[in-house]
Structure 1
Amino acid sequence: MKTPSHFPASGHWLAPVVLAIFAVAGCASVPSPPPKLTAPATAPANPTPTESGEATESQKFAQWVAEFSTFASAAGIDGATLHSAFDNVRLVPRVIQLDQSQPEFTRTVWSYLDNAVSPQRITKGKGKLLQLRPQRDALTERYGVPTEILVAIWGMESNYGGYVGDIPTIDALATLGFEGRREAWARGQLLAALKILQNGDIDRAQMIGSWAGAMGQTQFLPSNFLAYAVDADGDGRRDIWGSVPDVMASTANFLASSGWKAGQPWGLEVTLPPGFDHARADDAVRLPASAWANEGVQPMNRMPLPALTDSSILLPAGARGPAFLVGPNFRTILRYNNSTSYALAVGLLAQQAAGGAAVQASWPRDMPALARSQLLALQTALNASGFDSGTPDGVMGPATRDGIRRYQRSLGLPADGYPTLDLLQRLQ
């Protein structure tokens, strides 16, 4: 599961939505002093003048680790676990680079889906569903989550276990904590990771994942592991790195605990009636599916709409692209990774792996994605023209969408709130 607002989640990590930071309970007794830790492996013993800058950074990192170990000891982490975790802990510059990076260019939703829901991934997903057939009924009965949804998340997060990341989780989180930009979050996740080690679920060498601390075949943050991981194979360990039963049950437990509605689909592709007000395609406008049906919203196959509660119209590519009716379970997938493109990819991959249809309406592939700098220019121009879009930051949000809709209405265009190069050029 992805990192906060994505800490752009490596490649497609983590994207992750982040749940509340693991709460540290105070100890009733006075803890014994933490063990003296050896210096992290990055610190040279006798730095030369040319290495002095690096040595200073390494020494600061070692001091941060020592301070954190005192904190962790007071929170109940034993000396053996601290030695295992920190004796050879390393500062990972690549983690800092990825954390600080802000990609200039974004991807269109159809480009994202071309890769995320590729024919190869669909075919492999069908095979995985067959392999999981003996577990399917038990999983669905216990958690209420369809196995194809679990398989889709598995495929999205690690290509069905093919790649779970290559950075030691302790190193990644210690680096992020030392960096300081998200120190409170990183410290909470690092303490949770130490508890996982202390519980014996995994050893340090096998605890690997993304640069932002997400772990295992479905990319759990350590705090989510503690809260939701399940030992489904009965070996006494919750192993989301190597045990497929544990991976599936843990992912199902997270979704069920996050509000999954058993028996309801995530959503479906629909057609909109003539004259539909595209400004109502917004998560804030939630109606029973029956109310949308009364307005003329229909499934592509013209069958009755499913009995979705609290459903919304989603136009991920604006008025020119496909339309979807999404319900509470779509929003539950967003709790796994707060990205509309990700949640849509999970739903469509699950649908097609289970033998359902692909998206039938055409994507507006002639429309380029706006770069961050172009979106920043669009926001600035909207504000200058009296269409308030909030503080310009190059990131789409509700304020920007509302500003675009007001500008579109002033031009007599469908008010879908979708940012385009044409709108930018009109404003300029």
Structure 2
Amino acid sequence: MRRIAWALAAWLAMGGVAAAQDVQAGFRAFLQNDIWPEARAVGVSRRTFDAAFEGVRANTKLPDLQLPGDAAKVEEINRQAEFQSPTAYFDEAKMAATAARGRAMLAQYAGVIKRIEARYGVPGPIVVAVWGRESGYGAAKIPYDAFEVLGTKAYLARRKEMFRAELIAALRIVQDGDLTAAQMKSSWAGALGQPQFMPTKFRALAVDFDGDGRRDIWNSVPDTLASIANYLRQSGWQPGRDWGFEARVPASVSCTLEGPDQGRPIADFAQAGVTRVSGRAFPPNEMRATGHLLMPAGRFGPAFVATPNFYVIKEYNNSDLYALFIGHLADRMAGGGPFSGEWRKVAGLTRGDVARLQERLVARGYDVGRPDGLAGFKTRRSIGAYQEKAGLPSTCWPTRELAAQMR
């Protein structure tokens, strides 16, 4: 019996080795037959191409891959912090420490930041907050070979075409002389340097602010901060406006009014009874301008009146929690305190659970955007609309109880 078990294990192991070899052979053929002709067509030399992929193998341990033979499915778990519990994301001890470090960075680089604000119109605390979130103010390790990551994902990821474009852009960065192939270090998702730019964003938006002739977002703080500011300004940042305000939203104001497509003068929200938690009035220039109701945890967390600048931050990372983290951290650097509202823990659903709930809402005629398992504003307000129609308390948030009720 033991001999049979050993033989079976050996056979399975050999099968695994063969499958791995097939993946690597397919990867090399993909690079040569698919990527090289496209790279050559946009001016990448063979020398650059060979330097980029010397010794590179497909890294099948990277997340979010579609390996041969795997069935396509929605992941049951949320790997990125931005799509997990707000309670953990806004841990107060970590937030306070990050803000304190941010204030020190604002002081240390005050001269550079003042020049960046003058050129790009983006407040220094917002820029520094992005820097802090993306790379711990430059302290985070960026360990991956960008060509290994991007090549693997262009070959095996679920979003192959997106990563293919990023891979070609990475090759062009080396061809342009910004960095050598060996210097191209990235995150597991292929994002580059301290601001974590994808290669296409680097080519379009990174700047040389220290005047050394190179756009060095790995080692230069001025280049890093100015590149972040340029990204936000080119994404539509409106100088002179805040990102938003924590607010009290009375029950008479429906949480289904949330969303960037339902903007109205902030004065309208104030007239409906929405007030700032600080007790201060909304600034006069903001009262006349457009605001948006924002309830990133439905009725289970703090509420906000966001400005269009909040959605500019989302251009950097398309997550409500990410943009809120940046805005709140910037406020803390400027002397603000913790959130007034409480992020209440709710018996959680997995990403797969939320996707199935979204499908049930779509079947009933509600617009959730894309049923991807992420509770974005369209999903939140559709939940609220369903709850109101069903005579249930309107929470605008996916819960186990709601999932059970909708089966």
- Write the distance in 2 (CA, Å) between the matches of 1:82 and 1:316: 44
2:111 to 131, 134, 141: 134
Unaligned 5+ runs, structure 2:
1-13, 67-73
Q: Contact 1:232–1:245 at 8 Å: present in 2 too? A: yes
- Write the distance in 1 (CA, Å) between the matches of 2:379 and 2:235: 28
- Write the distance in 2 (CA, Å) between the matches of 1:408 and 1:321: 18
1:218 to 195, 214, 234: 195
Matched, 1:285 2:262: yes
Matched, 1:158 2:125: no
1:57 to 5, 14, 23: 23
Q: Secondary structure at the match of 1:93?
A: coil
Q: Contact 1:164–1:216 at 8 Å: present in 2 too? A: no
Structure 1's 49 and 314: CA in aligned 2 closer, same or farther, altered over 3 A?
closer
Structure 1's 420 and 204: CA in aligned 2 closer, same or farther, altered over 3 A?
same
Write out per-residue CA displacement over residues 201-243 of structure 1, whole angstroms, 9 at most, x where no aligned residue. 1222221111221110010000000001001111111000000
1:83 counterpart letter in structure 2 = D
Query: Residue in 2 aligned with 1:368?
Result: 347
Matched, 1:196 2:173: yes
Percent identity, aligned pairs only, is 37
- Write the distance in 2 (CA, Å) between the matches of 1:73 and 1:387: 48
1:120 counterpart letter in structure 2 = A
2:146 counterpart letter in structure 1 = T
- Write the distance in 1 (CA, Å) between the matches of 2:15 and 2:379: 51
Matched, 1:404 2:383: yes
Q: Secondary structure at the match of 2:245?
A: strand
Q: Contact 1:279–1:417 at 8 Å: present in 2 too? A: yes
1:172 to 131, 134, 149: 149
Query: Residue in 1 aligned with 2:69?
Result: none
1:83 to 19, 25, 50: 50
Structure 1's 416 and 283: CA in aligned 2 closer, same or farther, altered over 3 A?
farther
Structure 1's 50 and 313: CA in aligned 2 closer, same or farther, altered over 3 A?
closer
Q: Contact 1:311–1:325 at 8 Å: present in 2 too? A: yes
Query: Residue in 1 aligned with 2:3?
Result: none
Q: Contact 2:195–2:228 at 8 Å: present in 1 too? A: yes
Structure 1's 322 and 52: CA in aligned 2 closer, same or farther, altered over 3 A?
closer
Q: Contact 1:387–1:407 at 8 Å: present in 2 too? A: no
1:79 counterpart letter in structure 2 = R
Structure 1's 273 and 53: CA in aligned 2 closer, same or farther, altered over 3 A?
closer
Q: Secondary structure at the match of 1:205?
A: helix
Q: Secondary structure at the match of 2:106?
A: helix
Q: Contact 1:387–1:403 at 8 Å: present in 2 too? A: no
Structure 1's 54 and 275: CA in aligned 2 closer, same or farther, altered over 3 A?
closer
After TM superposition, the structure 1 stretch with the greater mean CA deviation from structure 2, 346-355 or 316-325, is 316-325
Q: Secondary structure at the match of 1:268?
A: strand
CA apart distance, 1:345: 0.5
- TM norm structure 2: 0.85
Q: Secondary structure at the match of 1:118?
A: helix
Structural mapping, 1:348-363, within 5 Å: 348-363=328-343
Structure 1's 274 and 70: CA in aligned 2 closer, same or farther, altered over 3 A?
closer
* Length, aligned pairs only: 378
Query: Residue in 2 aligned with 1:70?
Result: 37
Matched, 1:120 2:87: no
Write out per-residue CA displacement over residues 162-183 of structure 1, whole angstroms, 9 at most, x where no aligned residue. 1142111111111111226323
- Write the distance in 2 (CA, Å) between the matches of 1:50 and 1:340: 41
Q: Contact 1:376–1:393 at 8 Å: present in 2 too? A: yes
- Write the distance in 2 (CA, Å) between the matches of 1:397 and 1:133: 36
2:294 counterpart letter in structure 1 = L
- Write the distance in 2 (CA, Å) between the matches of 1:383 and 1:182: 24
Unaligned 5+ runs, structure 1:
1-47
Structural mapping, 1:5-44, within 5 Å: none
Q: Secondary structure at the match of 1:363?
A: coil
Q: Contact 1:117–1:345 at 8 Å: present in 2 too? A: no
Structure 1's 254 and 305: CA in aligned 2 closer, same or farther, altered over 3 A?
same
- TM norm structure 1: 0.81
